[in-house]
Structure 1
Amino acid sequence: MRIEKTDLADVLVLIPQPSRDDRGLFTRTFDAEIFDDYLGREGTSASFIQDSQSRTVKGVVRGMHGRSGRGEAKLVRCANGAVHDVLVDIRKESPTFGSTQTFLLDDRDFCHLYVPPGFLHGFQALTATADVCYRIDRPHDPSEDLGVAYNDPDLGITWPTTVTFVSQRDATAPSWRALLKHLP
């Protein structure tokens, strides 16, 4: 597994090294020792306590979601299909505050993202179905949910295909400007 920095401060791309042959492939999707060595913090990987998975159909957008309070660190990968993944830095003290970056996550390269606390996250399914897996460092607390409209003009996120569906929560999410008023 290789680890690379992104344009967003503290966000990492973890790149597995699949072994492929006539049977298919085998890959290690996460290696705690490599991850902890890279961060220089032993035991960081042990803080992940919950794994979740979503299945999404083509064109659907899920996002833009985040957490208030201590936030939430997560590893995100696409185990089946492909997604257009989007992150927005909402850490006011960050050199990349307000910046957006997009990533292709798929079941071909198996790259996944390390997303530290303080980011909005969303994605759009690019294939008939896409399974996205999350490894999260703290229990979900609905009272800490944050959201910004997936089509907010101030964020200017370009979704690669026609948006076919969003949840009621995402359709009525507040604006980027409204979120800024509530950030510490």
Structure 2
Amino acid sequence: MKAVPVPEIEGAYLFEPTPHADDRGFFSRTFDADVVRSVGIDPDGFVQDSLSRSRFAVLRGMHLRSGLGEAKMVRCSYGRVFDVIVDLRPSSSTYLQQKHLELSGDSQVTLYVPAGCAHGFQALTDPADVSYRIDRAHDPAEDVTIAFDDPELAIPWPFPPLRMSERDRAAPSLAVALGRT
């Protein structure tokens, strides 16, 4: 497994596994504390693992946490997703920059999303399972959602969303969510 910096987002990394494949399938390490530690991330700082399953064209996002924020490691364990992170840290050298990428169960690549970045994805398959390793216990009072179709972000989602949570559908603009209006 190796860590590869994501140049568009300061502090974001892709953790690329080295699967061992044969005629049975493959075996792949999806987390390695030493590799995570080598890029300055505390592997013991994660407190929760979660899993979401989405149907084709389901869109989840854009989400982040207020307060101390929330760092997370995100991996598509089955299927494929179009994944997006947006840097919303005003002090970051990559403030307001985005990274779009495909995560898939075939590659098992993990994306590290630093605290202060918004994250969302759209399922490209039916189903698509996304695994999360999160560094803080969930507190619904700190949930922040930004409109997936905010013109300021202009995220190029692959499909119109077929299904979304009501919270995501009713999310405010980036400017409102950041208190700029």
Fold match, TM over 0.5?
yes
Aligned to 2:72: 74
The equivalent position to 1:137 in structure 2, one of 135, 138, 144, is 135
- Stretches of 4+ aligned residues off by more than 4 angstroms: none
The equivalent position to 1:166 in structure 2, one of 164, 173, 179, is 164
Once the two structures are TM-superposed, the CA of residue 177 in structure 1 deviates from its matched residue by: 1.1
Name whichever of 173-182 and 79-88 sits farther off: 173-182
Once the two structures are TM-superposed, the CA of residue 99 in structure 1 deviates from its matched residue by: 1.1
Aligned to 1:96: 94
Q: How does 1:1-184 map to 2 (within 5 A)?
A: 1-6=1-6, 7-39=8-40, 44-181=42-179
1:66-115 alpha-carbon deviations (Å, 9 max, x no partner): 00000011100000000000001110101111111111100111111111
> Equivalent pairs: percent with the same residue?
46
- Structure 1 residue matching 2:157: 3-state secondary structure: coil
Return the TM-score normalized by structure 1: 0.95
Q: In the comparison of the two structures, how many residue pairs are matched?
A: 179
Counterpart AA for 1:129: P
Counterpart AA for 2:121: F
* CA–CA separation in structure 1 for the residues paired with 2:18 and 2:160: 32
Query: Which structure 2 segments of 5+ residues have no match?
Result: none
* CA–CA separation in structure 1 for the residues paired with 2:79 and 2:130: 9
Return the TM-score normalized by structure 2: 0.96
